[in-house]
Each structure stands twice: as structure tokens, then as C-alpha cells.
A = this chain, B = another copy of it.
Amino acid sequence: MLPPPSSPHRAQIEHLVRRALYERLGRTPPRVALAPNPLLVNVSARHCHLTPQAVETLFGKGRTLTPMKWLYQKGQYAAQESVTLIGPRSRVISNLRILGPCRDLNQVELALTDAIALGFDVPIRMSGSIAGTPGCMLMGPNGFLEMKEGVIRAAPHVHMSPDDTAFYDVKAGDFMKLRIGGPCAMTFDRMLVRVHADFRLEVHIDTDEGNACALQSDTPAELLK
């Protein structure tokens, strides 16, 4: 299934309008208007990534994920399928969304508030770096999946293409600052830079981080080296 043509995000329209206005007015644009791409800041609610084998274990032989909502990163989607997460104190989170497509590892990403509620002592990790992290049990309609490890709090990060890294003068693995405006203005000092030719410029923070800064779609946001 291919993603449908999506309507542009507010940040993309703002970026175009900002550029056009400065040009029309003949004024020197601020640095943000010169960036090759608009900056999106999106909140990732708790979710998991699964292998094709894990999907079959949980949902049944031959079952695959079905896209429900396309995300901003190319080809990434929230699946119709969700699972129940069972924590170390037998507390559960129902309807833990699966993000597709499948990956080559199983990983659960929780905000610290979620983790504390369930009794996980989660480390802050970059996605994919799960050695030594806590495990958990997932439950689907077809059965249980025991994960020996893979429960993390994802480090806040920014997806960048090489165009973006050139503009911001950073490289993969660097940390940048993200300045958020509005009534709960704050600056995140450690946004991990992740780089891929296919990445669209997008910050991912979790629900604790998004709620702490009261992020809305019109909240001002700026990336700083």
C-alpha cells in the first residue's frame, strides 16, 4: 500500500509564506527563512516497532501490518494493529500502537511517566540501541511475545537530510538545541542528530517532553547549534 498524497503540514506552508513575504518586502530574511527545509516538531506517543516474526506471533501466521495513518518520515506509518504491553508489576498499557514498516528488532518506546506507572526502569537510548535494556511481555490476539530486552525511553532527536546538516553545520551523532516558545517556553539542550538521505527535517520528542513545553501545532520552534 502506497502512502496517499498528503496535504502540506502547517510548518511547510509557514516556511513558504515566510520566504515569499521577505522576498516581496525586499527585506533581509532571518536565518530560519533561509533553511532548506521547514522544521516540524512532532510528539511521539508510546509505541513499538516489531519484526515480521513478532507480528506473526502476536497476530497470526501470515499476518502483516496495515497502515492506518502515514507519518511525516517517508514510508513510516502508524499501523491499525496494536498490542497490550505487560510491565514488571503486571500493570498493562492497552492499545500500544505499532509503527510500521517492520524492523529487524523489537523495541518499545515509552515516556518516563508511562515507564514509572508500569514499573520499568528505562534507560534513555537512541532507537535501535537496546543492549542491556529491560524486557517486557507483549500480548496480541494470537499470543504472547516475550521480549528479553528493548524497552527504552527514546532520546529526543532530530531527523536530518544532508542538506539540513550542511545548513545547520552539524553531523550525525551531534547534539543540537531546540528552542520552544509559548507559555511554557523551554530549550532542549540535547537533541540528537540522526542523518539519512531520505529523512525529512523533523524533531521527535515524547509525550512528557511535548506536554512539558505544551507543544501545539502553532508553537514556535527553532533549531540551534
Residues in A lying within 8 Å of B, measured CB to CB: 111-113, 116, 124, 156, 183-190, 207-209, 211-214
Assuming A124-B214, A183-B124, A212-B212, is B190 touching A113 (CB within 8 A)?
A: no
Interface of A is mostly: mixed
Most buried by B among A111, A183, A189: A189
Q: A113-B208, A183-B190, A187-B189 are in contact. List 4 more A-B contacts (CB 8 A).
A: A112-B211, A124-B214, A186-B188, A208-B211
Most buried by B among A156, A186, A190, A209: A186
Q: How far is the CA of A212 from the CA of B113 in the complex (A)?
A: 9
Write the chain B residue with the least CB distance to A180: B189
Listed by A's residue number, 19 A-B pairs whose Cβ atoms lie within 8 Å are: A111-B211, A112-B211, A112-B214, A113-B113, A113-B208, A124-B184, A183-B190, A184-B190, A185-B188, A186-B186, A186-B188, A187-B187, A187-B189, A208-B208, A208-B211, A209-B212, A211-B212, A212-B212, A212-B213
